[in-house]
Amino acid sequence: MYEFSRGSFPRTRLRRLRRHDWSRRLVAESSLSVNDLIWPIFVHASTGAQSVESLPGVDRLGTDLVVTAAKRACDLGIPAIAVFPVTPPELKTEDGAEAINPDNLVCRTVRQIKQAVGDALGVICDVALDPYSIHGHDGLVRDGDVDNDATIQVLARQAVVQADAGCDVIAPSDMMDGRVGVIRDALETAGHRNVQIMSYAAKYASAFYGPFRDAVGSKGNLGGASKKTYQQSPAQSREALHEVALDLAEGADSVMVKPGMPYLDLIAGVKQTFAVPTFAYQVSGEYAMLAAAAERGWLDRQDVVLESLAGFKRAGADGVLTYFAPEVAQWIG
Ligand code: PBG
């Protein structure tokens, strides 16, 4: 009697909402905008662009190119840039003292950028000794170990020197215990109460940093040594929440999870647990993988990059440090 009997069709068809672009946009749970991008750049002490073999398309920028890059970031609407110095080998020492030289490359670069673009662009600086030490470790090595408490004193001075130069955001990437609190106190004492701390709170001992170490020239310094006594083991997840809790209690304004794609569970966990600004670092090895596969025509560069960034947003990241930043800003801007 009835042509349509109950249950002969799926009443709930998820495909209805997916049928048209307008509808897919309307129900989108997350989206990526240029406001989500932080652009990490490498700077070297001389002039011109230097390519990095393991980071095709990412150049180390000379002092003559820094302002152009900063202006480009502003034009593209990218909110912030992260500056990583390539320290000339002759300036590397056992104690990495160049890190606290107020006229070192990173400080000169920050002054250059701030003079050119002022507050139109946030400038972020890493705090750690690895670009400056002959052993390539993030801290001071004593008796074969990275000495936590001696290191954080130097890191606090490094942070103040960078803030004096005009850095807006101090990003401790060293994974020493207690460093955020000491850095916060040092910044307050030096009058930098509005300088932010974005802590690399959950930073893993990762093989994905290889191309970065090529870019800043610290790979040879580190040799076969690892950073496993201070960076987290990839096996850990709850420990990352402990790290984040401590850094927040010590005064971090925002936190970071690093690397990115293999650690999306942490981004979701941190965001859900603490509801604070949470950033992901799509690190050099992630860039290299995607760039290499795209170069071979195995993956579509734009599609996979945008999909990878969508993943960070979906997981709960408020922003992503990515070497693809200017390219992405062009695509979506
Ligand atoms: C330095 C630092 C590293 C990265 C950012 N800051 C390397 C490391 O810890 O060895 C890696 C970034 C990347 O791979 O893109 N402490």
Q: What is the dihedral of CA 312, 314, 316, 317, to 10 degrees?
A: 30
| Bind-site residues for Mg(2+) | 243
292 alpha-carbon distance from chain centroid: 20
Shortest-distance Cα residue to atom 6 of ligand 1: 173
In sequence order, which residues have a C-beta less than 8 Å from that of residue 75 and are 6 or more positions away?
none
Q: Say how far apart CA 28 and CA 7 lie, in whole Å.
A: 29
User: Mean pLDDT throughout 175-200?
Assistant: 98
Give the per-residue pLDDT at 224. 86
Reported as a single tens digit per residue, the pLDDT across 41-62 is 999 999 999 999 999 999 999 9
Give the containing element (helix H, strand E) for 169.
Answer: strand 169-172
Q: Say how far apart CA 309 and CA 312 lie, in whole Å.
A: 5
Cβ atoms of 132 and 125 within 8 Å: the answer is no
What rounded mean pLDDT belongs to the chain? Answer: 96
Single out the catalytic residue among 92, 227, 258, 313: 258
The answer to whether residue 25 sits within a structural domain is no
Question: Which ranges of the chain does DSSP label H, i.e. alpha helix?
Answer: 15-18, 21-26, 66-76, 105-117, 148-165, 179-189, 210-216, 219-222, 238-249, 264-274, 284-295, 301-315, 325-332
Residue 258 is a catalytic residue: yes
Give the per-residue pLDDT at 3. 66
User: Ligand 1 centre from 256 Cα, in Å?
Assistant: 12
For residue 7, is pLDDT > 80?
no
Is residue 21 classed exposed, middle or buried when 0-12, 13-18 and 19+ CB atoms within 10 A define those classes?
exposed
Cβ atoms of 43 and 86 within 8 Å: the answer is yes
User: Mean pLDDT throughout 268-282?
Assistant: 98
| Bind-site residues | 243
- Per-residue pLDDT band at 4 (split at 50, 70, 90): low
The answer to whether residue 59 sits within a structural domain is yes
The answer to whether residue 20 sits within a structural domain is no
Q: At what angle do helices 238-249 and 264-274 cross, to 10 degrees?
A: 50
What percent of the chain has a predicted confidence (pLDDT) above 70?
98
Q: Is the CB of 130 under 6 A from ligand 1?
A: yes
Q: Say how far apart CA 267 and CA 278 lie, in whole Å.
A: 7
| Cβ count within 10 A of residue 271 | 18
Q: Is the CB of 129 under 6 A from ligand 1?
A: no
Helix, strand or coil, per DSSP, at residue 122: strand
Single out the catalytic residue among 203, 227, 271, 313: 203
Reported as a single tens digit per residue, the pLDDT across 317-329 is 999 999 999 999 9
User: Mean pLDDT throughout 165-178?
Assistant: 98
The answer to whether residue 300 sits within a structural domain is yes
Domain count, the chain: 1
Q: Is the CB of 128 under 6 A from ligand 1?
A: yes
Q: How many helices (H) and strands (E) does the chain have?
A: 13, 12
How much helix, strand and coil, in percent to the nearest 5, is found in the chain?
45, 20, 35
* CATH number (domain holding residue 92): 3.20.20.70
Token digits of residue 257: 């999870």
- Per-residue pLDDT band at 139 (split at 50, 70, 90): very high
User: Mean pLDDT throughout 225-241?
Assistant: 96
Reported as a single tens digit per residue, the pLDDT across 68-105 is 999 999 999 999 999 999 999 999 999 999 999 999 99
- Per-residue pLDDT band at 156 (split at 50, 70, 90): very high
Residue at token pair 């993956």: 299
Backbone CA torsion sign across 261, 44, 53, 79: positive
Shortest-distance Cα residue to atom 12 of ligand 1: 283
The answer to whether residue 23 sits within a structural domain is no
User: Ligand 1 centre from 39 Cα, in Å?
Assistant: 14
Q: Say how far apart CA 109 and CA 247 lie, in whole Å.
A: 28
Q: What is the pTM of this model?
A: 0.96
Q: Say how far apart CA 196 and CA 277 lie, in whole Å.
A: 12
Q: Is the CB of 132 under 6 A from ligand 1?
A: no
For residue 221, is pLDDT > 90?
no
The answer to whether residue 22 sits within a structural domain is no
Is residue 47 classed exposed, middle or buried when 0-12, 13-18 and 19+ CB atoms within 10 A define those classes?
exposed
Give the per-residue pLDDT at 219. 84
Shortest-distance Cα residue to atom 16 of ligand 1: 173
| Cβ count within 10 A of residue 4 | 7
- Per-residue pLDDT band at 149 (split at 50, 70, 90): very high
Structural domain span for residue 287:
32-332
Cβ atoms of 308 and 267 within 8 Å: the answer is no
Q: ipTM, 2 decimals?
A: 0.97
Give the per-residue pLDDT at 101. 98
* Strand-pair category, 145-146 with 141-142: antiparallel
Q: Is the CB of 173 under 6 A from ligand 1?
A: yes
Shortest-distance Cα residue to atom 10 of ligand 1: 209
Residue 203 is a catalytic residue: yes
For residue 1, is pLDDT > 60?
no
Of 84, 173, 214, 232, the one to substitute when testing ligand 1's pocket (max ligand atoms within 8 A of C-beta) is 173
User: Mean pLDDT throughout 242-268?
Assistant: 98
The answer to whether residue 3 sits within a structural domain is no
The answer to whether residue 214 sits within a structural domain is yes
For residue 11, is pLDDT > 70?
yes
